[in-house]
Amino acid sequence: NAGVTQTPKFRVLKTGQSMTLLCAQDMNHEYMYWYRQDPGMGLRLIHYSVGEGTTAKGEVPDGYNVSRLKKQNFLLGLESAAPSQTSVYFCASSYSGVAGVYNEQFFGPGTRLTVL
Amino acid sequence: RKEVEQDPGPFNVPEGATVAFNCTYSNSASQSFFWYRQDCRKEPKLLMSVYSSGNEDGRFTAQLNRASQYISLLIRDSKLSDSATYLCVVNIRYGQNFVFGPGTRLSVLP
């Protein structure tokens, strides 16, 4: 039982390049999330998904796209990377989205992205 | 005002000390509350959920005051391994509305 995994762990991009971050979970969770974490800012929600085939915008969605073609996978894409997207990206999943009902989030180990 | 605010820290305490973390939230519609811990360069991990009646897990005690929109975490007999950043997390209504506080860093010193 691997929990939540993320690939890659590290990546360096040049401005304007594109890339996709992959998140996978083996807990059969319905809900999945992408966050970014910057110093002093806490985690901020980029996009989330409440089930296979559905996605929605979070607090800071600009410059990112996502897809959830399979229940266990949630992909985050950067179409044209910018230095402002240098950050640590965390994926998370939860069984439920209903407050108070098994909605604790489980996080992957993170992807450290640097955009030059 | 930020949605979730925490003590700015860092807290530097000796082993065996008792340390308290405070967190306030601005949205009265908040439904679920959590404390996560995050070790340096690692992912956040759930420490404990916070229930209305307060709850305890070993050396850790969490309290919720809905009227004051305030959450606390008390660590008793602190260990070196408790050194981490503690994140207060508030869930507004549904799973997508998790709001994380900026965290308070704790260093337990020998």
Q: Which residue has the higher pLDDT, A102 or B14?
A: B14
CA distance A16 to chain B (A): 27
pLDDT greater than 90 at residue A59: no
CA distance B4 to chain A (A): 10
Could you tell me if B96 and A58 are in contact, meaning their C-beta atoms sit under 8 angstroms apart? yes
pLDDT greater than 70 at residue A114: yes
Which pLDDT does position A100 carry in this prediction?
60
pLDDT greater than 60 at residue A99: no
CB proximity list for A74: less than 8 A, separation 6 or greater: A23, A24, A25, A32, A33, A34, A49, A66, A67, A68, A91, A93
**Residues of chain A with C-beta less than 8 angstroms from the C-beta of B103:** 42
Q: What is the pLDDT of residues A33-58, one digit of tens each?
A: 999 999 877 899 999 998 999 999 98
Which pLDDT does position A39 carry in this prediction?
84
Cα-based torsion angle of the residue sequence A113, A115, B4, B6 in order, rounded to the nearest 10 degrees: 80
pLDDT greater than 80 at residue B2: no
Which pLDDT does position B96 carry in this prediction?
60
Which pLDDT does position A103 carry in this prediction?
76
pLDDT greater than 60 at residue B16: yes
- B55 interfacial to chain A (CB closer than 8 Å): no
Surface-to-core class of residue B57, CB atoms within 10 Å of its CB (0-12 exposed, 13-18 middle, 19+ buried)? exposed
Q: Which residue has the higher pLDDT, A103 or A31?
A: A31
